[in-house]
Amino acid sequence: MNMKRLLLCLFLPTALAAQPSVKGKADSILASHPAFSGVVLIARDGKPLFHQARGYRDFNRRDPIRKHDVFELASVSKQFTAAIVGMLQQEGRLRFDDPVSKYLDIPWKDITIRQLLNHTSGLPDYQALMDRYWDKTKVAGNADILQYLNRYRPPAHFSPGARFEYSNTGYVLLASIAESVSGMDFIELCRSRIFRPVGMRLTNVRSLAEKASLRRFARGHVYVVKEKRFVRADSFPSSDYTLWLGNRKGPGRVSARATDLLRWDQALYSDKYLTQATQAEAFRPAKLNDGTLSRYGFGWFLGRTARGEEVIWHDGDNPGYRTMFRRYPAGGHTIIVLCNNYYDGFERMVGALEAAL
């Protein structure tokens, strides 16, 4: 062995050992974001490299968050709705390019299931409609939302396929389609087809009462400047829609712990639940009418990191909560961040964690 190779062999292990580990980097990042309350999980090939909790389940009681606490996922829930539809397509019960009107009575007859999945349908916002007309002393579900969409027939925002526009309405319709073709309640579909088989033991679509009875549930909070403290988000009128739209299914309402999401992440590397063909559809950008591509598949945003690595991701935003689920298939990495105090440095922190990989 020549001298250069000898020196390289002697130096390399020492140099590698001196580099900060992912855990060391993540520790430093969290230390620089002391106001964050929640759980951070970074894993490779399903094995945690970093898993820590900071902050409080309840800021009034100063009850510390634990690593296995349950958080509201908000729109991270959409991937489960898309997965259920994918499973039904695999079984031949529906096709992605079927018209929605084949399964549901809706005013817009030329929209397909695919366009609901990838947010290119042009559908108007159901929440604005219900906010205007719904009797808020009652709790609305999907059937009520469909009834009001038909009664008031708000105009579409654009022709189907013309552009990408994020649509919670589309995911309400997807859950209702799944119920129509399966003959099962959508919540039980999620439990029986995903949560239980994958081993996601603390993941569920929960009612308000079920969340209140779960000791491990991390309550959403917001900071009130005048009071100089964090206050439960559900004490503000702005969160009232979670009450009077409390039975909606499809666009949100899943609550989970970080390790359950990691189980789901790993399940997506197999054919056991979604075939590789279905996943190829789900992780493909939508092609718009003018030939350009959006950056959304079926329940997932699609992009690249600053280094050009593929990243499949979704975030969520509910009163008091911010959530992020990022998958990096090439390196087998996963970043899951669940926050219960609507931390305003959330995106910067997630970006720093991504850079640490």
Return the active site residues: 75
Sign of the dihedral defined by the CA atoms of residues 154, 298, 40, 211, in that order: positive
- b/e map 129-138, b = 16+ CB within 10 Å: bbeeebeeee
Assign 3-class secondary structure to 242-304. HHHCCECCCCCCEEECHHHHHHHHHHCCCCCCCCHHHHHHHCCCCECCCCCECCECCCCEEEE
Nearby residues of 292 by Cβ (< 8 Å), 6 or more positions away: none
Contact call for residues 273 and 290 (beta carbons, < 8 A): no
How far lies 33's CA from each of 253, 296, 344, in Å?
27, 30, 10
Q: How many CA atoms are closer than 13 Å to the CA of 171, on its beta-carbon side?
A: 27
> Which single residue is written with the structure tokens 């296995």?
68
Give the CA-trace dihedral at 323, 328, 334, 337, to 10 degrees: -20
Cα–Cα distance, 297 to 152 (Å, whole number): 30
Q: For the chain, what is the radius of gyration of the CA atoms? A: 22
